[in-house]
Structure 1
């Protein structure tokens, strides 16, 4: 094909811009940034994003399988030790979570639908709003430390539960209330086995193969507990196999 003489310089300019990264090749602007879905749900900090995405980095049984919303086998309740998050992230940590009035113990990272054979549903379509209102968050703010984390949990996991937004967070609270939490674990190094045993001793029906401890860097970060849809403790070997392999991760007190 022959090109008109004036078209060649134009094509060369366009190609040069694309190579320099100033013109996106796929039609998507490289300058797009995350925008808050509501005035109440502000964009998360980089540290909050790392915590929110911990379920993707270290999910015990894989992820993102295309099945209908509500079609899952059991729940995984992820409890985050807040002082470990704050110590690990340092100056990058959420000021709300790690400030003077922030939580000093376990908080809810999320309640995640899981598949027995491996994998978990993710980012399912829902007739419910994707955003979390301030009114909704006020009812769970004692469990989940930031509205950004709550919104992320709903969109990624809750929308796949087959529950309404309100019922998903009610179920999250009911799962949290199911547990008695150890009070004397923190303050130094603790073995994952001892942490698990402390939970087992306090919660009748909970077994060592029903939970797992996870670590990140030098810290004990989470305790993850498997529950059936009626919130009874169940064994979950796939979760247990992905537990922390550190000998004695740190479990600090709040500064």
Structure 2
């Protein structure tokens, strides 16, 4: 009988010990999840950031993308050049802040001096045509998280960066032309690096024939919105080794 009792006590102790370990693991997992959520919230709410992505898109690829329609702005078809998509604050860990300051809502009147250039160099090609709503989105989501105190300075910084990088000319200098031909992605990156001093990140899309196309070019910029830098982190995704540079 004593042996049975001893065996029962040992078995009970083992089960109790296992139960406590499981409970401890559950507590630790819940604590880690709570910490992760708090960290994420703090990360998104703080006003500081580490660098900008300056993103330019090729309109020929946007308009030729599989399953996407394309509408020109009110002033007509944009010129055959890269257009600005955005100037986006980012963190070194791959996250980014957004919609940081509701006390500074978009005010189109602040862009009176820039509007003609924005229509040409920072247009929306979405359908239906959304005009200034696109700039409102960029300012409210991204601009309010930057160190620019007003909209004019923020959008002017984007226009200045477009002039500074001049992507189309950088590619043409290396005989990479928007002619529907296919080019090596690494050659594209080298051509841009030769012009700006740093490697870009290239995003691709697919046309109705499932051809991989040059779509967007990401360049990293210091928090001052002026100086180009080496990218601390790159977006996700990859292109095919050779991609089409579609006409526009």
Q: CA deviation at 1:141?
A: 2.1
Q: 1:193: Cα distance to partner? A: 0.9
Q: Is the 8 A contact 1:158 1:165 kept in 2?
A: yes
Residue in 2 that maps onto 1:202: 195
Q: Is the 8 A contact 2:49 2:223 kept in 1?
A: no
Gap change, CA 1:91 and 1:170, over 3 Å in 2: closer
For the residue of structure 1 that corresponds to 2:239, the secondary structure is coil
The answer to whether 1:227 aligns with 2:221 is yes
- Rg comparison, structure with higher value: 2
Give yes or no for contact 1:128–1:165 (8 Å, CA) kept in 2: no
Number of the residue aligned with 1:41: none
Contact 2:56–2:216 (Cα < 8 Å) also in 1 = yes
Distance 1:63 1:90 in 2: 35
Residue 170 of structure 1 is aligned with which of 156, 163, 168?
A: 156
- Partners of 2:221 and 2:186 lie apart in 1 by 20
* 1:75 equivalenced with 2:52 (yes/no): yes
What is residue 14 of structure 2 aligned with on the other side? none
Q: Is the alpha carbon distance of 1:143 and 1:65 closer, same or farther for their aligned partners in structure 2, counting shifts above 3 Å? A: farther
Distance in 2, Cα, partners of 1:125 & 1:109: 21
Is 1:192 matched with 2:185? yes
Paired residues of 1:191 and 1:247 also in contact (CA < 8 A)? yes
What secondary structure sits across from 1:225 in the alignment? strand
Q: Distance in 1 between matches of 2:188 and 2:65?
A: 19
Instruction: Calculate the TM-score normalised by the size of structure 1.
Output: 0.64
Q: State how many pairs are aligned.
A: 186
- 2:63 aligned with 1:86: yes
1: CA distance between counterparts of 2:86 and 2:68? 24
What residue in structure 1 maps to residue 140 of structure 2? 155
Counterparts of 1:113 and 1:250, CA distance in 2: 29
For residues 147 and 68 of structure 2, the distance between their equivalents in structure 1, rounded to whole angstroms, comes to 38
Normalized per residue, the structure richer in helix is 2
Match of 1:124 among 83, 100, 109: 100
CA gap of 1:236–1:139, structure 2 versus 1, over 3 A, is same
What is the TM-score normalised by the length of structure 2?
0.66
For 2:202 and 2:54, the matched residues in 1 are separated by 12
Structure 2 CA distance for partners of 1:243 and 1:235, relative to 1, 3 Å: farther
How many angstroms apart in 1 are the aligned matches of 2:99 and 2:189? 30
CA contact 1:80–1:222 (8 Å) conserved in 2: yes
CA contact (8 A) 2:202 2:239 kept: no
Q: In the aligned structure 1, how far is the partner of 2:222 from the partner of 2:157?
A: 12
Which stretches of structure 1, 4 residues or longer, exceed 6 Å deviation after superposition? Answer: none
